[in-house]
Amino acid sequence: MDYTTIQISRATREKLNGLRAYKRMTYDELLNALISLIPEGDEEGVYNDDFRASLLRSLIDVKEKKTQPIEEVKKQLGIQ
């Protein structure tokens, strides 16, 4: 298997270490476990990688409160 080096901050490394399921879990195993949490599809079919990435970005936006409540969107669109 080919490996590569990535640059992450110490803080990120500590966060990743805190997510390990067991002490000797590799970062590759951990990152693949995290990636597996992104849905692969639904009853309508399989999602492509771009859509799966957009789902992840959307979840991050919600967590960081970069979204608007549906009531506000309805108000802006004149839908009640």
Residues 55-75 have pLDDT tens digits of: 999 999 999 999 998 999 999
3-state SS track over 10-51:
HHHHHHHHHHCCCCCCCHHHHHHHHHCCCCCEECCEECCHHH
Q: pLDDT exceeding 90 applies to what percent of the chain?
A: 89
Q: What is the mean pLDDT of residues 46-50?
A: 95
Given this model, what pLDDT does residue 47 score?
A: 95
Of the pLDDT bands very low, low, confident and very high (cuts 50, 70, 90), residue 1 is confident
